[in-house]
Structure 1
Amino acid sequence: MSSVAQDVLPIFILIFFGWSLVRFGVLKEGIGEGLGDFVFRVAVPMLLFRTIAHADFHGSSPFRLWIAYFAGVAIAWTIGHLIATRVFGHDSRIGVLAGVSAGFANNVFIGLPLVERTVGPEGIVAMSILLAVHLPLMMIAGTLLMERAEQKTSGRPSQGLMAVSRQVALNLVRNPLIIGLIAGIIVQTLGVPIPAVLDNVVAQVAGMAAPAALISLGMTLNQYGMAGNVRIAGVVSTIKLVLMPACVWAVATLLGLSPQWTAALVLTSSVPTGINAWLIANRFGVGQGLAASVITLSTAVGVLTVSLWALLLL
């Protein structure tokens, strides 16, 4: 238990540290947003680039990894949607948002640092393979389903599948994470060695990703809070923190993934809800309070549930 605590607790202590810096006026909230931009646009892309460029995949196929993770996403998303609409009586827009919140893990800001500390290099390779498709699939699915729910609820004309897909695809092509992954794949495929001086610089910047991501996340959490919705937020958070990783573990075990890859997938699926849920809610102007409540609650409780999953897996 002590080794698990040494790996997991620092993750959440850094989040709390970032939250405290803004909460007690040491730094302004805008600094956290700037730090988050640095993490998202520079540090994490360099981490993914270097990981993929140096990785030895041993001929492993990524498809079993993707199936294991997204099976858990699909189950959590579906149950979150059904509970929001059938049990709590919300419309389909809130149903979509509840599904997104239940299935969209904070893989970049919490998952990567957690897997790096607990699983190591093999886990980061698995995370890189996952992130290559995670953001595109989740954002396209969330946006299209919300667009459909918005049309159904408000009766406004739909933008059309092609128009929405084109807009999301354009955003993804310019996404720094995708650029970092593609650059790493190119270097890996060509077998071109990275010059030692350049590799050292990239390694130092990539090393900033984990602590900077956690501190910036804590700083931005000050803008969320619990805006009501405690009951439904509690249910959605439970699905996210307990049911989703349990499903990922079951499918990964059935598919025979390695212990390192299984641990990486389960641990990253067990982390709190990512801010992407709030971004989708904010874009469509519905459910911001629910998304914010789930993010805050799942982050607050996550230290316990993530520790439990780490204890079971490691």
Structure 2
Amino acid sequence: MPPFVETILFIFSLIVIGYGAAAFGLLKAQTGEGLSNFVVSVALPLLLFRTLLAADFGEGLPWGLWSAYFVGVAVTWTLGHITIRRTFGRDARAGVVAGVTASFANLVLLGLPLIAGIYGPEGLLLLSLIISIHLVVLMAVSMLLFEWALHRDGVAVASPGVVGFTKTFVSQLLSNPLIVGILVGLIGQLVGLELPNIATRLVDSMADIAAPLALFAMGMSLRNFGLAGHLVPAAALTLLKLMLMPAVVLVAALLLDLPPLTAQVAVVGAAMPAGVNAWLIANKFNTGQRLASTAMTMSTPLAVFSTLFWVWVVSIVFGS
């Protein structure tokens, strides 16, 4: 069995174990919520902090990596929006949710452990560089498009204005532990921060358990979300997420002539299933929650097969 196949099966098995623990009542739903909060608020921010603190930016900012990945985001978001509005006749707000769902990959809970397992520390750093702007960019775009959608659907409330929008956006960013971990790691790297031994051991102890706990907690959360209807449109968004987005990133990586490892991480990262942030954004704006929930639940198990496919494809195209 090729190593990457074993890694992918191992990672998705942890998700299944978490799902099973919730489904058979071995752990209460509150336990899953507590694990998820710990992972997102403590363990994963420390993992990102540690990774970026040790990063080497000798070659400058990864514009090629960001360009390839976000071309995939833009194309998939647009097609997801158009598909829901024109094919299924939904309003503009549902179209924004569809765009987010089709393009907002689960780079944190699933992407970090998977990329680290397949491509090692160098791959983990490359994915961390995508994550460092991923949430910022997609949150900003989703907030702007929802303002547009509210006016388009004729249900707009008073606009917060540029100052109000900026305050809300910055407040949400700085209250997100993942963003804080990224920022502190980048600042520490720039100023040459060296942690004392005791601090290093503390960070390592938390960061090292982030991956398995994230996968287990993700499995438990999938049990809570489930399939909430809208199966056909969710299936369309799942197809866009798992197949179109990585294909677009693959083409962009070839056109930009990205280094082999950079290209592989970008494509496999783009192949991750829809993340919970799509549901959180839908819930925040009180529209499309069931569509986002179903697409996330549907795309995650199917990602076992699509991830195997895309890892195999990039190993051939870019070399392994």
Q: Give the TM-score taking structure 2 as reference length.
A: 0.94
Q: Distance in 1 between matches of 2:102 and 2:24?
A: 31
Q: Distance in 2 between matches of 1:241 and 1:233?
A: 12
Task: List gaps (5 residues or longer) in structure 1.
Answer: none
**Structure 1 segment 143-222 matched on structure 2, within 5 A:** 143-162=143-162, 163-222=164-223
1:247 alignment counterpart: 248
Q: Distance in 2 between matches of 1:29 and 1:52?
A: 33
Q: For each residue in 1:75-111, what CA deviation from the matched residue of structure 2 results, as whole angstroms up to 9, or x when unmatched?
A: 0000000111111111111111111000000111001
Residue type at the aligned position of 1:233: A
2:278 alignment counterpart: 277
Q: For each residue in 1:217-251, what CA deviation from the matched residue of structure 2 results, as whole angstroms up to 9, or x when unmatched?
A: 11111121222211111110000000001111111
Matched, 1:138 2:122: no
SS in 2 for 1:285: coil
Task: List gaps (5 residues or longer) in structure 2.
Answer: 316-320
Q: Distance in 2 between matches of 1:61 and 1:186?
A: 14
- 8 Å Cα contact 1:148-1:158 kept in structure 2: no
Residue type at the aligned position of 2:203: V
1:263 alignment counterpart: 264
Instruction: Give the superposition deviation at 1:253.
Output: 2.0
- 8 Å Cα contact 1:66-1:130 kept in structure 2: yes
Instruction: Give the superposition deviation at 1:35.
Output: 0.7
Aligned length: 314
Runs of 4 or more above 4 Å deviation = none
2:33 alignment counterpart: 33
Identity of aligned residues (%): 41
Q: For each residue in 1:127-186, what CA deviation from the matched residue of structure 2 results, as whole angstroms up to 9, or x when unmatched?
A: 121111111111111122123212321433242342233212211022211211121112
Residue type at the aligned position of 1:170: S
- 8 Å Cα contact 2:147-2:156 kept in structure 1: no
Q: Give the TM-score taking structure 1 as reference length.
A: 0.96
Instruction: Give the superposition deviation at 1:287.
Output: 1.1
1:66 alignment counterpart: 66
- 8 Å Cα contact 1:122-1:261 kept in structure 2: no
1:307 alignment counterpart: 308
Q: Distance in 1 between matches of 2:133 and 2:224?
A: 29
2:2 alignment counterpart: 2
Q: Distance in 1 between matches of 2:263 and 2:209?
A: 26
Q: Distance in 1 between matches of 2:161 and 2:233?
A: 30
1:122 alignment counterpart: 122
The Cα RMSD (Å) is 1.4
Q: Distance in 1 between matches of 2:61 and 2:165?
A: 31
SS in 1 for 2:287: coil
